[in-house]
Amino acid sequence: PGGGPGGGPGGGPGGRPGGPGGRPGGPRGGPQQRRGRKQKRRRRQREELQPQELASYTPVDAPVPEGEVVIERGSTAQEIAGKLNRSAADVVRFLLQQGEMVTATQSLSDDMVELFAAELGAQIRIVDPGAEQEAEILKVLDIDLEASGSAPRPPVITVMGHVDHGKTLLLDRIRSSNVVEGEAGGITQHIGAYQVERNGQALTFIDTPGHAAFTSMRARGAQATDIVILVVAADDGVMPQTLEAIDHARAAEVPIVVAINKMDREGVDPNRVLAQLAERDLIPESYGGEVITVPISAMTEDGIDELLDQIILVAELEDLRAAPDGRAIGTVLEANLDRGRGPVATVLVQQGTLLVGDPMVAGAAWGRVRAMTDDRGNAVKEAGPSAPVEVLGLSEVPRSGDVFTVAPDEKTASRVADTREHWQRQASMASASRSGAGGAKLEDIFQQIRAGEAATLNLVLKADVHGSLEAVTDSLRKLEREEVKLSFVSRGVGGVNENDVQLAIASNATILGFNVRPDRKAREAAESENVEIRLYEIIYQLLEDIENAMLGMLEPEFEEIVTGEAHVREVFRISRVGPIAGCFVEHGTISDGAKVRFLREGTIIWKGEVASLRHFQDSVPQVNAGMECGIGLSDFTDLKEGDVIETYDEREIPRT
């Protein structure tokens, strides 16, 4: 019924109107119904936008939870209230009385949470999001991190010491003396850890960064180690980083063997070092204590054999053991993103045996172990306790210090990684919400402070490897002050790319690069959108710039003008000359004698000058874009196809 004399049936399922004289279409899909749905949706949206009524205030004599209450970092007033038997209104009112303008759904700082808990007399423990869930994750993985084994294992040794005290040279001497002459490939790569043999005893060395700001990386190294070699220069004595290293070793409760280096220098007195150590409660054996000290010279190699013998003796006394059977457990020492191979992680196996093909989870990364290589670049099928290997096959770059485990199957590994990623994201969001949003240029910060505004500097941070990324982040967070906050919009490993620039545009952020470079598209986008990219190779300079920006005292800076970019297509080995990079000039001009950066996967691996420039057989002063050429570099020989040679000039820009 419904169609009039000239019409078909009224509104059918599709809501077609009736013919002339007919009634309007049926209820489904008709114009009136659509209008009704729109009105309901608008009304619902208006209601959602209205301020929510806070729960009524809790009576003053309401009981406080007994025992310790666990609260996740970055929780809101609503979440905290539920755990402390109070309403969100109680939390908000109290904080308003303390001068803190907060809402019920805003993440609160640790100080705010502790202040409210103290007011109630409640005992709380603040943990990172996901920390409490980690125990459940370990149950799912069916592993025991505290398990011990019965089979002897090689000791893991970490070498620590003040910058320039000879730590790196000592490691190089130990490592190079162990290479078998004529071994295929020799020492082809450095993965941050390696094994050597001494009198049939394997020794594993972890190479931790010696820079003062990399405290967090050294701390992680100490937690994975059995013995610390503390390198102290005989001419300098105990220095600030020496004291930090002592603290980390003590916190890890591992024995310390002191190597008093640079004994080849004239006039040095090792007794001065011994006295300084004794003042720090590190009593040498010659003073009646238990600390072994060995005078050495990394330069002449004197004393190194004695040092290794003493380490073996300490290892025997420690009686180090592990279970070689079963699924592997260990620690991620370092990780980076390789354009050709994907995520690459250097791991130290601590229990069990890691096999190619194992389903593995490391932090929020997971995957099946596709390939493993040792510190000499040799492919290996398995790695047992105390063995350091480089692993391929993970879904993303894990963090330095993450625990890795072999999961029962890939499904479990994926589920665990997803769970961890969720909690890491929650932690990141909580941190970002506490920091807020703000200006983009370093020069703007002081102006905001002078105007009486609380300034926030948004940052996009990129670094060459994960350990550096975390160390720089930790160092920057320590610079925060009441009037200036830092907010990390994004942090990642690898060169600065166009996506980083887009993020900076969207969030009004400054881009900081540590030991990385922007690619051409990123540079062009940054120039056109006026996004500031600051690049550093020395962490002190990065921290100095940020701190000076906060104080409004930035010095005139040097602007780097990229003059040419050439891609290595082939490497020629010429006797008495060395390797020559056969290149194609992609952009600009390559000039003989120009300053040059050598990039691999967006990371700077060498800086110097163009030593020779040839076009076919002729030496030429410069080669333009679109031409081929041969480039010789002053003292760099590790050339590979696909590398990028970038030449540049420096120009000082006075600040106004």
338 and 374 part of one domain: yes
**Model confidence over 545-581: pLDDT tens digits?**
888 776 664 445 677 889 999 999 998 887 777 789 9
Is residue 8 predicted with pLDDT exceeding 70? no
239 and 348 part of one domain: no
Local confidence band at 208 (pLDDT 50, 70, 90 cut-offs): low
Final residue before a domain boundary, out of 407, 428, 452: 407
Distance, CA of 5 to CA of 10 (rounded, Å): 12
Specify the pLDDT at position 429: 54
* End-to-end Cα separation, the chain, in angstroms: 82
Helix (H, G, I), strand (E, B) or coil at 67: coil
- Domain tally for the chain? 5
pTM: 0.56
Please state the φ and ψ torsions of residue 434, each to the nearest 5 degrees. Answer: -70, -30
* Domain assignment of residue 303, yes or no: yes
202 and 106 part of one domain: no
* Domain assignment of residue 34, yes or no: no
Distance, CA of 425 to CA of 470 (rounded, Å): 16
173 and 274 part of one domain: yes
Specify the pLDDT at position 26: 45
636 and 549 part of one domain: no
* Class of residue 241 by CB neighbours under 10 A (exposed 0-12, middle 13-18, buried 19+): buried
384 and 452 part of one domain: no
Distance, CA of 430 to CA of 95 (rounded, Å): 18
* Domain assignment of residue 24, yes or no: no
Amino acid identity of residue 627, one-letter, is: M
Q: What is the CATH number of the domain that holds 538?
A: 3.40.50.10050
**Model confidence over 54-110: pLDDT tens digits?**
445 677 678 888 888 988 887 888 889 889 988 888 898 888 888 887 788 777 888
189 and 259 part of one domain: yes
Dihedral sign of CA atoms 480, 486, 492, 497 in order: negative
Distance, CA of 281 to CA of 217 (rounded, Å): 24
Contacts of 82 (CB under 8 A, 6+ apart): none
Is residue 19 predicted with pLDDT exceeding 50? no
Q: Which residue has the higher pLDDT, 471 or 213?
A: 471
From start to end of 90-145, where are the E strands? Answer: 123-127
CB-CB neighbours of 231 under 10 Å: 26
* Class of residue 381 by CB neighbours under 10 A (exposed 0-12, middle 13-18, buried 19+): exposed
Is residue 431 predicted with pLDDT exceeding 60? no
Identify which of 28-32, 245-249, 337-341, 613-617 has the greatest average pLDDT.
613-617
260 and 241 part of one domain: yes
Residue-by-residue DSSP string for 442-455: HHHHHHHHHTT--E
CB-CB neighbours of 206 under 10 Å: 26
Region 383-397: mean pLDDT is 93
* Domain assignment of residue 141, yes or no: no
Boundaries of domain holding 585: 560-653
Mean pLDDT value across the chain: 79
Q: Which residue has the higher pLDDT, 479 or 613?
A: 613
Strands 557-574 and 578-591: antiparallel
Q: CA separation (Å) from 161 to 230, 300, 347, 529, 650?
A: 6, 19, 23, 44, 34
Contact 92, 102 (CB under 8 A): yes
Q: Which residue has the higher pLDDT, 428 or 656?
A: 428
287 and 167 part of one domain: yes
Final residue before a domain boundary, out of 407, 427, 458: 407
Local confidence band at 539 (pLDDT 50, 70, 90 cut-offs): confident
Is residue 49 predicted with pLDDT exceeding 50? no
Q: In the numeric block, which tokens belong to residue 172? A: 């190089």
Q: In the numeric block, which tokens belong to residue 564? A: 């040419």
Q: What is the CATH number of the domain that holds 217?
A: 3.40.50.300
Specify the pLDDT at position 557: 64
180 and 292 part of one domain: yes
Specify the pLDDT at position 625: 93
Local confidence band at 403 (pLDDT 50, 70, 90 cut-offs): confident
**Model confidence over 271-283: pLDDT tens digits?**
999 999 999 889 9
Distance, CA of 647 to CA of 594 (rounded, Å): 6
Region 162-167: mean pLDDT is 79
* Domain assignment of residue 427, yes or no: no
Distance, CA of 311 to CA of 154 (rounded, Å): 11
**Which DSSP letter does residue 567 get?**
E
Q: CA separation (Å) from 224 to 163, 257, 598?
A: 21, 16, 33
Final residue before a domain boundary, out of 537, 555, 573: 555
Which range (140-149, 308-317, 492-501, 510-519) has the least confidence?
A: 140-149
Closest CA to 2 of 429, 215, 19: 19
162 and 287 part of one domain: yes
State CA 373 to chain mean position distance: 22
Q: Which residue has the higher pLDDT, 241 or 170?
A: 170
Amino acid identity of residue 16, one-letter, is: R
Contact 558, 650 (CB under 8 A): yes
List own/partner pairs for 107-112 with CB under 8 A and 24 or more apart.
107/74, 107/75, 107/76, 107/429, 107/430, 107/433, 107/434, 108/74, 108/75, 108/76, 108/77, 108/80, 108/434, 109/434, 110/73
Distance, CA of 315 to CA of 154 (rounded, Å): 8
524 and 450 part of one domain: yes
Specify the pLDDT at position 163: 74
Residue-by-residue DSSP string for 162-185: -TTSSHHHHHHHHHHTTSPTT-TT
**Model confidence over 436-472: pLDDT tens digits?**
433 345 555 555 555 545 567 788 999 888 878 888 8
The full length of the chain comes to: 656
Specify the pLDDT at position 483: 63
* Domain assignment of residue 575, yes or no: yes
Contact 225, 158 (CB under 8 A): yes
**Model confidence over 593-616: pLDDT tens digits?**
899 998 988 888 888 889 899 998
Is residue 632 predicted with pLDDT exceeding 60? yes
* Domain assignment of residue 342, yes or no: yes
The radius of gyration of the chain's CA atoms, rounded to the nearest angstrom, is 31
* Domain assignment of residue 582, yes or no: yes
Place of tokens 């390797």: 579
Q: In the numeric block, which tokens belong to residue 559? A: 């602007």
Place of tokens 């000239």: 6
Specify the pLDDT at position 100: 80
Q: Which residue has the higher pLDDT, 239 or 210?
A: 239
